[in-house]
Amino acid sequence: MPGSAGLDGVPRSSVYFGAHSSLPVPSFPRSTELPRGHLPSGTPGNARPPPLPRAPPTTASLPVAEIGVGITGFGAFFILLGALLYFDSVLLAFGNLLFLTGLSLIIGLRKTFSFFFQRHKLKGTSFFLGGVVVVLLRWPLLGMFLETYGFFSLFRGFFPVAFGFLGNAFNIPFLSELFRRFQGTSSMV
């Protein structure tokens, strides 16, 4: 309605965009017409509309991932405690179940299955999960050997990254000074 006049007799196009504007003229119902120089809130002349709200992340949400980290930590603790207590099968089995549950909570079920069941990782997966089953069947020493081999073959690509990070730890100022101090002490007292 480019030529229609507002309540004060001024054409709408000059109220909102100036008399010689080449922008399209919005048409508002008569109830929203304002005095000259006032714009309805949220509709400035040539500004973009407000951005749409962001979608939540598609992977595990943050609180679930934090719980997963805690459960994975408890699993690693129980595995270590079971190994220290002469391969106690109950502690090892509980640690294995907590570790796998925590891992699936951290990265999600779909990514966990896609990680373990990739074609080139099936050998490591079969040894790792077979070791978990053997530990659950109360053969802890054999199960832990199978799990260890499966763990190393599953995470083979991660070890160079971890060792590279540990190698760079000597470049951190506080740690490099600490390592130099420990390196200089060789007394047997």
**Sites in the chain below the pLDDT cut of 70:** 1-49, 55-61, 169-170, 175, 179, 182-189
CB count within 10 Å of CB 106 equals: 19
The conformational region for residue 187 under phi > 0 = left, psi -120 to 50 = alpha, else beta, is: beta
Q: What is the pLDDT of residues 17-60, one digit of tens each?
A: 555 555 555 555 555 555 555 555 555 555 566 777 776 655 55
DSSP 8-class letter at 87: -
pTM: 0.57
The owner of tokens 């050998």 is 123
Residue 100: closest CA among 120, 116, 84, 122: 116
